[in-house]
Every structure is written in structure tokens, then in C-alpha cells.
Amino acid sequence: MNYLSTPRLRQAYRSAGNASLPVLLFIHGNASSSVFWEEMMEQLALDYYCIAPDLRGFGDTEDLLIDATKGFGDQVTDLLELIDGLALQNIHLLGHSLGGGVMYSLLAAAPQHFRSATLINPASPYGFGGTKDIHGTPCFPDFAGSGGGIVNPDFPRLIAEGDRSSNNPQASPRVVMNAFYWKPPFTSPREEALLDGLLKEKIGADRYPGDFEPSANYPFTAPGKWGPINASSPKYLGDTVQHFIANTGHIPVLWVRGSDDQIVSDNSLFDLGTLGKMGFIPNYPGEEVYPSQPMVSQTRAVLEQRQQKTGAAFTEVVMPGTGHSPYIEQLQVFLQHFLGFLSTL
């Protein structure tokens, strides 16, 4: 692990390869860390300079708060300071899950740094939770159903306790990872190292899962102001989609997703519209009022709008038989798609 003190915080990052090589910058998702990229980085290090930071709130980076009212602004500024501090140029950017959500804001804020963008099962460009159509229309004005209140509180509690058991079938970090990060029965031979990375997420009402506000609207919780999950609320992402479309026309995009993702999907099992339909949350108002967030369809619609307005190409790849982390589940297949994409640039 390497460390760099930037103007705002001390950032931890993994690196592989020679700094003279083309740059790959990896952004991890929620409940994970840079260790999730390690196997891929080792495979690519002969031809690329690979950099994978731990985002603020995760891993070994200094534990400072995320002001969610700025959307992904804290993460974007941190990453830009890392890019400046390491003098990275002409970067190929990769982001997974929540890291994909951060990517939209990063690309929109500083497109001049990037040669390409690879989204891997990314969060919707409109954020996670509380929207009902491909345009990102909120189900309710207070964005109920997004933010810190949608997280099962047992999951962060067990992370804080360093739980490595399989005793809680709904919330043990090991169980959640193996049930949802990939498609069962796959398990990673690096399971213990990946679990280590998951357990380093910073926990608390101002960290993960973050705070929340009561709401009169289903599912009766609205976003708070702190932590990475509130930062991913559509309430705080503002004009991100419009800026992404307008500012990034020169950047080709590869979008890779697992065919059987249960976390980011049009019927996500982590979305309270889906859970309401399934009868797991009482007082569900019905699909007309609160459908499942069409996360995949929202991503496709935004990339298609960008292509229509700017001519910027994107490629969508669906990897059969994989879940939320196809780059871990079928690394060699993923690399064929990824390196094939880079070879066209």
C-alpha cells in the first residue's frame, strides 16, 4: 500500500506497473476497497501503470467525513488531487458500482484528464434509490427511498464489529458478499482478502450508512447529509447527468455488466420499490407510485442521449452467468472485452 498526502487528506492507494506506461485509474464500489482491483492490476501491470485508491470513508485512506450535500463532490476533489499529486495524464478510468456513480461526476468535472471510461455494473447516473423512470424523476419531492435510511442497519453494525462469520444470513458481511457481489455458487479464492477490504469501511451515523430523515412518503425515510450512501442520493446529484452529457463527448465509454446482477438492475433487491412489491416492506403504495428504479435502463438512456447529442460512442457488454462483479467472476473474459476496447482507441 502507498500513501500520498494531498491538500485535503492522506490517501491510500495500490499501484502496479511502471509510471512511464499508460495509466489505468480504478475506482472501487461501496463496502469494498482498492483490494478488489488487485488481481486485475497484477495482470495488466506489464503494459499499464495501475492506480487504485481507497476512497474517503473506505480502506486505509484517512478517515474524514463525506459531505453528502455536495453529491460526489468530496470524492471527485480527492481524486483530482490524487491525479495532480501523482502527475497522472491521459488516464483510462474504470469504476465499479458506487465507483461508477462517482465516475459520472468526475468525468463531468474534469474531462480533460481522461482518454476513456469503463463502467462496470455502475450505479445509475441519477443515483441510487427514489426515482421511477428513465429520466430520473423522483417518486416523491423529498427523494424518499434513497440515502442512509435504506441500509439494513445490521450490515454496518457487523462491519463495525469485524464480523467474519456466516451466522446472520441477511447481514453477515461474508454472506452478503458471496450472495450479492457475484452470482452464487461462485466464490473467490481471494475471499479473505476481499472480506478484509469490505470490513475497512468507516461506520457511523455520519459515515456508513449515514444519517437520514423521517418521511411521510413510502418507504418513510429520506436522505440525510453525511456519508457515501447519502452522497449517492438523487437529491444531491443535481445537474450531473446534464454536465456528463455536455462535457464528455470526446471520451469513449465501455459499459460492462453482469447478466444476473441483483444490486444494480431494473429490479434490484436493494431497491425499496422492489422490496415493497415483494411484500417485505409494509404500506407499499403500488407500482404506479413507487416502481423499482430502472437503474440499467437509466444508464442506457443517458449514454444514448450523450451519443445523440455529441456523437460519443459507447459499447454495452453483458457478461452471461455473472453478477455484480464480472471483473472478479470471469476476469479473463472481462479482460478480453476491456483490452479489445482499449485497442480501438
Q: Where are the domains of the chain?
A: 2-134+238-343
Cα gap 126→104, rounded to integer Å: 10
pLDDT beneath 70, residues of the chain: none
pLDDT at 91: 98
| 145 touches 281 (CB < 8 A) | no
pLDDT at 267: 97
pLDDT at 163: 97
pTM for the whole structure: 0.97
- At residue 32's C-alpha, the angle toward residues 20 and 146, to 5°, is 120
Kindly state which CATH superfamily the domain 2-134+238-343 is placed in. Alpha/Beta hydrolase fold, catalytic domain (3.40.50.1820)
Chain mean pLDDT for the chain:
97
pLDDT at 313: 87
Element (H, E) at 274: helix 272-277
Cα gap 100→68, rounded to integer Å: 17
